[in-house]
Amino acid sequence: MTEPNSTDSSRREFLKNTGRVAAASTLVAGMSPRAFASEDNTIQVALVGCGGRGTGAAANALSVDNQGPIKLVAMADVFEDRQSDSYNGLSGKFPDKVDVPEERKFMGFDAYKQAMDCLQPGDVVIFATPPAFRWVHFTYAIEKGLNVFMEKPVTVDGPTSRKMFALGEESVKRNLKVGVGLMCRHCEARAELYDRIKQGQIGEILELRAYRMAGPTGSAAVGPKPADKNELEYQIRNFHAFLWASGGAFSDFLIHNIDECCWMKDAFPVRAKASGGRHYRGDDVDQNFDTYSVEYTFEDGTKLFLNGRTIPGCHHEFASYAHGTKGAAVISTASHSPARCRIYKGWNEDDNNLVWAFPQPEKSPYQLEWDHLIDAIRNDKPFNEVQRGVEASLVTSMGRMAAHTGQVITRDQILNGDHEFAPEVDQLALGGEAPLVGDSTGRSPIPPPGLLLTPEY
């Protein structure tokens, strides 16, 4: 991997890797700067990626209250069953807000274009496909002048991060409102905790700790592909299992804990060293480790210690903490919501030491992120989370790469590295070949720390 020579050379590299941005600039140049387009005040929504997270995001969009009418008007996916299940669930729950006839249900790798073509500049498209496709879809959204909600992570390696940084800059120039699905940033409890930390209530932060230790999660552990299934479609359906599609379980699941700790620190780490391993997995063909342990270092030398585990029968913990010179803070307690943020004098979580706790119940951050996005669209407020979303995705990948290679990895190293997991992702087609090829038994290559220093497999 190469180190950046200067800001100018880094910028040239960004632009070299994002030629489509120039096209986006030309196509959008004459578009209206209106926040949303419909004459009857309706914001139209298209859903690209109809799995569980996409369906949930669409439900949150349609649940925004007292801000004017919103309708889901188009859907796109590569799997008919997922699109059908999503449509049936959403139309059943929001019969007056789902207007997606058969002719606006699109299938295939180009379906994202057809769905966005149903919108007008200023409408909203949801991206909830595997992260590998994020830069492809975002490029087209910019060309169409669409506001965007995209799920995290938004990148999985250095080259895609460079593309998304440049695309994010372009979206800001076009006054597009873009939300990124790091919903914890919209949590009211965490926001108050952040303010209290900035006010010095726990003193100077000395270290942070984060844990996501549970059993198998999502499609992180998968068995061999059935003989009658296409390899590409199998990998996309089980995208948590394959690094090219999602950055693996590490990127997709641990990013929230990493990002909420970085929020409290008000900085992103610049270096990571890590370890990890894989255990008694039988004939599973995925690429994930079962344990990850990362020491992140911020520019001032402060550490974030991250632990991830997906082994059945072990201690469960899903929480993040900050330790300061005056006390300790609970950033999250168990899962993402409710956070139940608290501050203690000293480092022990003892009721006798409790000095503040956010009152319950808490509003769902999944809903709040949509409330804030739609408010920004309707009232033309600045709202663009791309740069922060890419930064969080990049440092998450930095920790993953440190574990998979056994090396100390810096932010500059991974950002300026030349290994892109799926450089031709925009050319994939149904029934075609996958970016990842397994061995004769169908097993995918597993990262070998210390043996292969770059790329990760």
Cα–Cα separations (whole angstroms), residue 367 to 64, 94, 134, 338, 359: 7, 16, 22, 13, 18
Number of neighbours of residue 71 by Cβ within 10 angstroms:
18
Rounded CA separation 51/144 (Å): 24
pLDDT exceeding 70 applies to what percent of the chain? 91
pLDDT tens-digit series, residues 392-406: 999 999 999 999 999
pLDDT of residue 5: 38
Beta strands 303-310 and 291-297, pairing class = antiparallel
Cα–Cα separations (whole angstroms), residue 334 to 210, 237, 263, 381, 395: 11, 28, 18, 33, 23
Residue 86: pLDDT band (50, 70, 90) is: very high
Residue 366, token pair as written in the block: 């999944």
pLDDT tens-digit series, residues 341-372: 999 999 999 999 999 999 999 999 999 999 99
Residue 134: pLDDT band (50, 70, 90) is: very high
User: What's the average model confidence in pLDDT over 256-282?
Assistant: 96
pLDDT of residue 36: 55
More confidently predicted of 134 and 3:
134
Rounded CA separation 107/456 (Å): 32
pLDDT of residue 39: 63
User: What's the average model confidence in pLDDT over 163-174?
Assistant: 98
Residue 20: pLDDT band (50, 70, 90) is: very low
More confidently predicted of 438 and 137:
137
Is residue 254 predicted with pLDDT exceeding 60? yes
For residues 67 and 367, the answer to whether their CB atoms sit within 8 Å is no
Rounded CA separation 176/383 (Å): 8
Is residue 24 predicted with pLDDT exceeding 70? no
pLDDT exceeding 90 applies to what percent of the chain? 87
User: What's the average model confidence in pLDDT over 137-151?
Assistant: 98
Q: Which residues, 6 or more positions from 26, have their beta carbon under 8 angstroms from its beta carbon?
A: none
Q: Report domain 188-360+396-427's class.
A: alpha beta
For residues 160 and 135, the answer to whether their CB atoms sit within 8 Å is yes
Is residue 149 predicted with pLDDT exceeding 60? yes
Selection from 191, 169, 174, 234 nearest residue 34 by Cα: 174
pLDDT of residue 427: 95
Is residue 245 predicted with pLDDT exceeding 60? yes
Give residue limits of the domains in the chain. Answer: 7-184+368-385, 188-360+396-427
Is residue 198 predicted with pLDDT exceeding 90? yes
Query: 101-105, 234-238, 449-453 — which is least confidently predicted?
Result: 449-453
More confidently predicted of 23 and 116:
116
Residue 30: pLDDT band (50, 70, 90) is: very low
Beta strands 105-107 and 70-77, pairing class = parallel
pLDDT of residue 454: 80
Q: 7-184+368-385: which CATH number, 3.40.718.10, 3.40.50.1780, 3.40.50.720, 3.40.50.300? A: 3.40.50.720
For residues 225 and 285, the answer to whether their CB atoms sit within 8 Å is yes
For residues 161 and 396, the answer to whether their CB atoms sit within 8 Å is no
Rounded CA separation 263/91 (Å): 36
Residue 284: pLDDT band (50, 70, 90) is: very high
The rounded mean pLDDT for the chain is 92
Is residue 28 predicted with pLDDT exceeding 90? no
In sign, the C-alpha dihedral spanning 15, 21, 25, 26 is positive
pLDDT tens-digit series, residues 422-445: 999 999 998 999 999 988 888 999
pLDDT of residue 40: 79
User: What's the average model confidence in pLDDT over 205-224?
Assistant: 94
pLDDT of residue 216: 85
Residue 38: pLDDT band (50, 70, 90) is: low
